[in-house]
Amino acid sequence: MIEIKDLWYTYPGRSEPTLKGINLRVEKGEFVLLTGPTGCGKSTLLKTLNGIIPHESGGILSGSVKVKGMETTDSNQMEISKEVGLVFQNPDDQIFSTIVEDEVAFGPENLCFEQKEIDKKVTEALQIVGMSDHRLDSTNSLSGGQKQRICIASMLAMEPEILAMDEPVSQMDPMGTHEVLNTVRELNRKLKTTILLVEHRLHELAPFVDRVVIMDNGKIVFDQPASKAFDNLEIFYRLGLRIPEPVELCHSLGIKASPLSVNGALAVLDREIKENNRIPQQFLQNPDKNPVTKTSSKKTSSKKASVENNTHGNNDSENNAHGNNAHRNNDSENNAHGNNAHRNNDTENNAHGNNDHGNNDHGNNDSIISIQDLWSGYEKNKMVLKGINLEIRKGERVAIMGTNGSGKSTLLLHLAAILKPDKGSVRVFGEDTRSKNPYSFAGKVGFVFQNPDLMLFCDSAEEEVRFGPVQLKYSNVDERVRNSLEAMSILPLRNDLPQALSRGQRLRTAVASVLSINPELILLDEPTTGQDKVNIEQMMDFFKNNNSTLIFCTHDIEVAMSYATRILVMNEGQIIADGKGKEVIKDTEILKKASLTQPPVVEIANYLGINAFSVKELVKTLTSRSVEEINSESVEEINSESVEEINSESVEGINSGSVEEINSRSIEGIKC
Amino acid sequence: MIGARSIAEPTIKDTVIHRMDPRAKILILISTVFVAVSLDNQKTMFLLFLIILSGFVIAKMPAIKIKTLVILLILLIWGTIYSQALFYSQLPRTVIFTIIRPDFPVLGWLTGGGLFVYEEGLHHGAVQGLRSASILSLGLLMCWTTDSRDMLNGLVGLKVPYSVAFMVITAVRFLPIIITEVATVITVQRLRGFNPKKFGSGIIKTLLNILTPTLANCVRRTGTLAVSIQSRAFRANPDRTSLKKLEFSNIDKIMITVFVFAAISIVVIKLLYNMYTSGIYYTSSLRPVYAIAGGYL
C-alpha cells in the first residue's frame, strides 16, 4: 500500500536533511504507529505520503515514495490526496466550516453522495468520535480536543483507504482517546483501512497498533510488530520514549513479557505465580475483575479467603489503604456509596471553596489566586465556567484536568486577566482582574498558550527569549536567556527562526520566552502536547526544582501525578475534585465523570490490593512483600519447629520428671 | 479578544431576516446596490438608509455589533461629507467657511488658492456618505445574519463557480480567527512587558510583532488547509451534492420580487430622467416619470 525507498529530504534553507534514507513498507490493512523524539522527522515523513512534500514545501527530495503504486513526486497532488486521508496536528489549520456538521459533510458532499447518505455518514462519524451532541455547534466554540475529534470524524466520514494521522489525539482527554482509537482500530480491521499514525503517546497507543516504527534523527531505527516491540527496552530509554506501564512493570520485576494492557499484565503476573512462584499469590486477590484469576479462582478460593482475612488483619500494622482497597475490591458498591461518597463530599466541599485540605498539606498561606463564584462564557446563554471557587497558594503546582470543553483553558485565561468574569471575582496577587489587563501582570504572570505559534514573533529563538527581559528592563538578560534556552534544550537552535522549528521545538521556545522573565505565576495550556518524555520531564523538573507556582492544563495523568502538588478535576465548567494526586486518582467515579482514566499501574495495583501509584512503588511493594512473605513463612516454619521441639522437650521433660517424681513418691509411700 | 471575534462572526438567531434564503439576501443586496448608486435625492437616500437600519432591529443584533456599526457609519459618513465639502470641484459652489485663506503664507500656495468648505460639497458628501453607508449596512446585515455555509450554498445556487465561492467564503470565515489571533499576539506581548499602545516607533514595532506570527500562522494554515480539503476530495468531481438544500420561502419570493422590481424601476426611471436632462431623449408622455425622478429620486 505504501512503499518508501531510500528517501532523503532537506527543507529549503537548511543544510542538513530531515529525512535520511528512509525505507518503509506498509501493507494494506496495517495499523502502524510512527513515533520518536520531538523533531526526528515523523511529521515530515507523513507529509511525503500526501505529496505535500515536495509539491507544496519545495526543498530537495530524493528516493521514492509510492502510494498504491503511484509515485507521489510524479503524481498530481489532488490524485494522491484522494487516496490518503490526512489528519494534521493542529485542528485549527484544517477546520474551515463554521458548523460542525458541515465540516464532516464536506468530504461526502464532494464525493457526490445522496443527501440521505451524507446525513447518515455525518451521524455515524460524529457518533464514533463522541460529538453527536455538538452536530449543530459552531466550530469556533469547540475546545482543542473537540476540534481534533471533528477532524478525525471528517476523515472517517469518507472512509479512505489510507489514513495518515499526525498526533490526532494529542489534545484529547484519555477516555476520548481510547474511544476514538478503538473505533479507528475497528475500521482498520473491518474495512482494512491502512493506518499510519504519528504520536508521542506510545504508551497509550501501543495496545491498538500492529507495528511500532521508531524514528530518530531522520532515520528509522526500529521497526517491530507491537507484540515484540517491547522485548528490549533499551532503545525506548535511550530515545526518551514512554513505555507502556504494564511492560515497564513486568520488566522491572524481571519477567520476560511485554503485556500492553492491564489484563495482559495481570495474566502475566498470574502465570508467574503459578509457574515460577515469583509474585506472592495474595496480591491476585480480585478474581472477579481479573479474567485470568477468575478461571483459577475455584482452585485458590480457600487460600483467597485467608488472604482477605490477612489483609483486614494487616490494616493496622501495614497501611490502611491496603485494607481499604481490599475492602473496595470485595464490595465495590458499598465502597462507592461509603468511603468514596464520604471523600466525594470532601472534594465537593473543596470545589466549593473549602480548600483547607490542600492548604494544610502545603502549610503555606500565601494565596496568590482567589476565585469566588466565577461564571464566564463566550456567549451569554452558554456559560463555560459555572461558579468556580478556588484558592491557589504560592509554590503550588496545580494540574487542571478534565473532559475536552470542560473549561480548563477558559479558567487559565481568567488567571492572566485575558478574560473578565461575567459574574463573581478573580483576584490575582490580590488584584481584581476586572479592572486589569494582561499588561498589568507583565513579569508576574507567564502564559504559554496551547498554540505556541502565536507567541513567536522574533527572528531567532534567542531574540524571542530575550524579548521579555529587555522589555521589562531586567538585569542579567544574557544569563536569563542562556538559562532559559538551556532549560528547554533549545540552546543549539538559538539562531534558528522560531517559526521554522518543529512544533515541539516551537513550544519549548515559547516556554523559554516565558521562563526568561521568571514570573511568579506560570500558566501552561497543555504543555505536554507534541512533546517526548525527555522534554516533558526536563521542562517539568525545571519548574519543580525552581519551586515555581505553576498551573497547567493537561490530559496526561502520569505527568500530573508526577509533578502536581494538587490536581483539580473539571467537568462541565465546575471543579468536581480538588486534592492531592493520589487522592484524586483513587476516585474512579470522579475520573470517569471527567473522561479520565487511572494509569495502568494504578489499575494493576488496585487489582492486587496494593496502594501504589507508580511502577517504582508497585515494584517496591511487590518485591518487599515477596521477601516479607518468604521471611514470614520461614519464621513460621522455624517457630513451629521450635514449638514442637520445645513442646516435645517440655512434654518429655515434664513427663520424665513427673514419672520420676510419681515413681519416687510411690516408692516412698510403699516404703512407709 | 472574544468581543473582537464576535464582531466578525454571524449571530445566528431565529428571526425573519435570519430565516431568509441566502440567495434572496444576495439578490436583495445587489438590487439595493443599484438603487443606492442611482439615487441622488438626499431624503430618499436617507429613507433607504433608515429602512436598511431597521433590518438590524428586526434581526435583533447584539449590542456589540450595533456599536461596531455605529462607529463604522459615523467614520464613513463624516469622512465622506468632510472630504466632499473640502474638495468639491463642481460649479456652482458656495463657500460657507474658510480654513486656509488664499493669501496665507506657504499654505495658501500649497493648497492652490486656499481651502474652503462648500455648501454644495456638504450636500454631495451627505448623499455619497449615505450611499456608501446603506450598502455597507446591508452588506454587514447580510454577513451577520447568514452562516458561511448558507452563504456558500447561496453563491453556488446563484451559479457562482464552487471553487470561487469556496475561496470567498473561506477568506471571510477566517477573518474572525485572524482577529482572535491578533488579539492573542497582543496579549502575549503585553504579558512579556511590551506595551503596544506606545506611539511612534512603538506602533511600527507592534505591527511587525503582530504581523510575523499572524502571517506565519496564515501561511502555515493555508498550506495545511489546502491539503486537508484536497484529501477530502475537493474538486474531485465537476459537481457536488449538498447536505442542506436551499428552498425559497414565500416571503423570500415576495421580497425578491419587490426589491428587483423596485431596483429595475428606479434605474430605468433615472436613466430616462438623465437622458431628458442631458437632452438625449424626451417625450411628454413621460412627464409624470420625470416629475417622480426629479422630486424623489
Query: Which of B213, B229, B240 is nearest residue A454 as measured by Cβ atoms?
Result: B213
Q: Quick one: CA dihedral A275, A279, A282, A288, positive or negative?
A: negative
B242 contact A CB<8A: yes
Can you point out the beta strands (E) in A52-128? 60-67, 70-71, 84-87
Q: Which residues 217-236 on chain B approach chain A with CB closer than 8 angstroms?
A: 217, 220-221, 223-236
Model confidence at A278, in pLDDT bands (50, 70, 90)?
A: low
Contacts of A451 in chain B (CB under 8 A): 217
The phi, psi pair for B8, rounded to 5°, reads: -85, -15
Q: Is the peptide bond before B92 cis (omega within 30 degrees of 0)?
A: yes
- Torsion angle defined by CA atoms of residues B113, B119, B124 and B128, in that order, rounded to the nearest 10 degrees: 90
- Mean pLDDT confidence for A654-666: 42
| Closest CB to B9 among A96, A140, A454 | A140
Highest-confidence range of A199-208, A306-315, A648-657, by mean pLDDT? A199-208
Residue scoring higher pLDDT (A8 or A292): A8
Say what the pLDDT of residue B197 is: 60
C-beta of residue A399 within 8 angstroms of C-beta of residue A596: no
> Which residues of chain B does A112 touch, with a Cβ-Cβ cutoff of 8 Å?
237, 239-241
What residues are paired with A391 via a beta bridge? A370
- In this structure, the strands spanning A431-432 and A423-428 are antiparallel
Interface test with A, best of B6, B14, B182, B243 (most A CBs within 10 A): B243
Name the average pLDDT for chain A.
77
In chain A, the residue whose alpha carbon lies closest to the alpha carbon of B163 is A110
CB of B241 within 8 Å of any CB in chain A? yes
Q: Which of B189, B216, B231 sits opposite A50 (nearest CB)?
A: B231
Which among A110, A112, A446 has CB closest to B232?
A110
* Residue pairs spanning A and B at CB distance below 8 A: 181
Mean pLDDT along residues B260-285: 90
pLDDT band at A323 (very low <50, low <70, confident <90, very high): very low
pLDDT at A355: 38
Inspect the interface and report whether the beta carbons of B233 and A107 lie closer than 8 Å. Answer: yes
Residues A455, B173: C-beta atoms closer than 8 Å: no
Find the mean pLDDT for residues B69-92. 88
Residue A262 is inside which H or E element, if any? helix A262-271
pLDDT for res A626: 59
Q: Which residues of A touch B61 (CB under 8 A)?
A: none
pLDDT at A672: 32
Per the structure block, which three cell numbers stand in for B119?
455648501
Confidence at A308, pLDDT banded by 50, 70, 90: very low
Say if CB B36 and CB B262 are below 8 A apart: no
- In Å, how far is B255's CA from the nearest CA of chain A? 27
Question: Where residue A297 falls among pLDDT bands split at 50, 70, 90?
Answer: very low
Using an 8 Å Cβ cutoff, are A282 and A310 in contact?
yes
Phi, psi of A284 (to 5 degrees): -90, 65
Cα–Cα distance measured from residue A486 to residue A482, given in angstroms and rounded to the nearest whole number: 6
Q: Does the pTM exceed 0.90?
A: no
Q: B217-223 contacts: CB < 8 A, separation 24 or more?
A: B217/A451, B217/A453, B217/A454, B217/B181, B218/B174, B218/B178, B220/A93, B220/A453, B220/A499, B221/A92, B221/A93, B221/B174, B223/A52, B223/A56, B223/A57
Is B187 touching A (CB cutoff 8 A)? yes
Kindly indicate the confidence band of residue B5, based on its pLDDT and cuts at 50, 70 and 90.
low
Put simply, whether B213 touches A (Cβ < 8 Å) is yes
